A = this chain, B = another copy of it.
Amino acid sequence: MSENNPLRDVFDAIADPTRRRLIHLLSQAEEIPLHELTEQFSMGRTAVSKHLTILKEAGLVLDRKVGRETRFRLNAAPLREVQDWIAFYSKFWSTNMLRLNQLLEEEEE
């Protein structure tokens, strides 16, 4: 039974573009140290570190210290909650549904 007590809402964690980009970077390697992640952005190390902390709080990222560096790794599992939430609404944007709505609107008037 892994930790399942997110201090931070996943929806909140992925709301920021920088954090989404971090997630993407981490999806393309096993592990990436902070300084290497920082290179990819125009902001300072402290800011990137803060974003990673938020991702950690949401359970989206794991870290481990190796020598003097801290390496981060993606844990995509919590994104499942978002997918489940979205899935419910997918029926509202299917083309058939759009057509149906049009018909209903016409009737209404």
Taking Cβ atoms with an 8 Å cutoff, the residues of A that contact B are 9, 11-12, 14-15, 17, 20, 23, 27, 30, 74, 76-77, 79-80, 82-83, 85-90, 92-93, 104
The 5 nearest A-B residue pairs measured at CB: A76-B92, A15-B15, A77-B93, A76-B89, A76-B93
New A-B contacts (7) at CB < 8 Å, excluding given A27-B88, A30-B104: A9-B15, A11-B17, A14-B15, A27-B92, A77-B92, A80-B93, A83-B86
Docked CA distance A104–B31 (Å): 12
Contact call A15/B20, Cβ cutoff below 8 A:
no
Contact call B83/A90, Cβ cutoff below 8 A:
yes
Contact call A15/B11, Cβ cutoff below 8 A:
yes
Q: State the Cβ distance, A19 to closest chain B Cβ, in Å.
A: 10
Within 8 Å by CB of A85, from B20, B80, B89, lies B20
Contact call A74/B90, Cβ cutoff below 8 A:
no
